[in-house]
Amino acid sequence: MLTLSNTLICLLIFFGVLFIGYLLGRIKIKGIALGTSGIFIVAIIAGCVIPKESIDITTITKQLSNVGLALFITSVGFTAGPMFIQNFKSKAFKYIAISVIIIFAALGVAMLIYALDKNLDMPTILGITMGAMTSTPGLSSNLAAFEESADIIQTVNAIAYPFGVLGVCLFVQIVPKILRVNMKEEVEKISAPKEENVEEKETEGKEKKLITFDRLGLCVFSLAVVLGILVGALTIPKIRFQLTITGGSLVVGLLFGHFRRIGRISLEVPKLTLKVLKELGLAIFLACSGLSGGLKFIEYIQIYPIYFLYGALITFIPMLITFIIAKIFFKMELLNILGALTGGMTSTPALGALIEVADTDDVGSSYTSTYPFALFLLVLIPQVLKMFV
């Protein structure tokens, strides 16, 4: 007789979701595949059918979700670090502008819906917005600003969140198909030069003498995660702003990736290690997010079906507006635009989808250039709007 504890059943469900999700993600329809996002869809379905009365999966998903975020975002930081400073210096205004445009476009759409639907109140429309933008820090700020409406905020956030994830993932895959771009040429436009400069050649021999702690770089990577968690936990009291584990891991990963050493101590992590940890982290995060979101998705969407449409509009319209402005007026490269959009939408899964589509980690530098500003604005907006309600 097979007897499994609740923890083992949860792990069985979790890895089953990963297995089936990866299989689903490989299916292509007219050249478009869900990729890693297939895990999210399978997780949503699994969350809907899990007997919640007998299986408690929320405890394990909450913890594992943070593990996934730390692994994925820290890996992205390490990879984007060498290009980030150079990329941001040359396009700083454009990246900041993209962050502002996409967030205020989303807010504009939300406020238009709020004005047209007299049944909505401010906490509810902001809850939908934070779900559509997949912003956990924004959700936390909204809950802090409107504590009395916590239940409805969390409910509508759960309704809007699934399309917020899948919509951006599909957008970054479909746009290159519509424009019929040559992906290899687009990658070359944003890639760092391959030639070694004189300084690199002179220091090549010295690099070999750097102190390393393990050949896989796990020691340094673990240190980066520890520091990222601590940085993310720092709070600006008056506006209750935190970088959270996502922002903290991103900042530390970028610094480690950019400087690559402290004296004779190497801060580098092998590319293969980063690739594995990045993929693993994203898969864990998507599985946990989908399972958590699916638990009450059917129940909620039956009560508030129109809120799913509102969330879809708040997800899609700002991306389209910002893409057109960045393409026509800023004249940015396609992959830099899409990378910046994933950061502006604070969409970790979409960055993973874009990396998979472009087959290069260089798009991560655009994500890291817009993400912090978008994060700050999403946290600030509920606090400001609270003053006018």
Number of domains, the chain: 1
The enclosing domain of 231 has a CATH number of: 1.20.1530
More confident residue, 85 or 215: 215
Determine the pLDDT at residue 208.
Answer: 59
Q: What is the mean pLDDT of residues 233-252?
A: 78
Determine the pLDDT at residue 101.
Answer: 96
Q: Indicate if the pLDDT at residue 201 is higher than 50.
A: no
Among 97-111, 251-265, 279-293, name the most confident range: 97-111
pLDDT in tens, 253-278: 989 998 988 888 999 999 999 999 98
SS (H, E, C) the chain: CCCCCHHHHHHHHHHHHHHHHHHHHCCEECCEECCCHHHHHHHHHHHHHCCCCCCCCHHHHHHHHHHHHHHHHHHHHHHHHHHHHHHHHHHHHHHHHHHHHHHHHHHHHHHHHHHHCCCCCHHHHHHHHHHHCCCHHHHHHHHHHCHHHHHHHHHHHHHHHHHHHHHHHHHHHHHHHHHCCCHHHHHHHHCCCCCCCHHHHHHHHHHCCCECCCCCCHHHHHHHHHHHHHHHHCEEHHHCEECHHHHHHHHHHHHHHHHCEECCEECCCCHHHHHHHHHHHHHHHHHHHHHHHHCCHHHHHHHCHHHHHHHHHHHHHHHHHHHHHHHHCCCCCHHHHHHHHHHHCCCHHHHHHHHHHHCCHHHHHHHHHHHHHHHHHHHHHHHHHHCCC
Is 376 part of any domain?
yes
pLDDT in tens, 358-369: 988 888 889 988
Is 193 part of any domain?
no
Determine the pLDDT at residue 360.
Answer: 87
Other C-beta atoms within 10 Å of 256: how many? 24
Determine the pLDDT at residue 205.
Answer: 47
Is 97 part of any domain?
yes
Q: Indicate if the pLDDT at residue 198 is higher than 50.
A: no
pLDDT in tens, 31-54: 777 788 889 889 989 988 888 888
- Token pair 């970028």 is found at 254
Task: Work out the pLDDT band at 240, boundaries 50, 70, 90.
Answer: low
Is 279 part of any domain?
yes
Token pair listed for 385: 């709007």
Is 164 part of any domain?
yes
d(CA 388, CA 34): 41
pLDDT in tens, 137-183: 788 788 878 888 888 888 898 899 989 989 999 999 999 999 999 99
Task: Work out the pLDDT band at 196, boundaries 50, 70, 90.
Answer: very low
Average pLDDT, the chain: 87
pLDDT in tens, 319-346: 999 999 999 999 999 999 999 999 999 8
- The parent domain of residue 25 ranges over 6-185+208-386
pLDDT in tens, 288-308: 888 887 887 888 888 889 999
Is 192 part of any domain?
no
Is 134 part of any domain?
yes
Determine the pLDDT at residue 2.
Answer: 72
Is 57 part of any domain?
yes
Determine the pLDDT at residue 202.
Answer: 43
